[in-house]
Amino acid sequence: MQAEGDDLPLPRLSALVLLALAAEIGLLALLGWAAS
């Protein structure tokens, strides 16, 4: 096991993941509404 140096910008990356999920859900809902 290597030393655990971790300089990952975790809060920013996590926010990006959650924003992407919200955008995906929004786009899918919009797609369903527009296509029906």
Contact positions vs another protein (CB under 8 A): 1-2, 4-8, 10, 13-14, 16-18, 20-21, 24-25, 28-29, 31-32, 34-36
Q: Cα separation of 32 and 9, whole Å?
A: 35
Q: Determine the Cα–Cα distance for residues 28 and 19; give it in Å rounded to an integer.
A: 14
Shortest separation between residue 19's beta carbon and another protein, angstroms: 10
Least spacing, CB of residue 15 vs another protein, in Å? 9
Q: What's the longest Cα–Cα distance across the chain?
A: 54
The CB-of-8 to another protein minimum distance in angstroms stands at 5
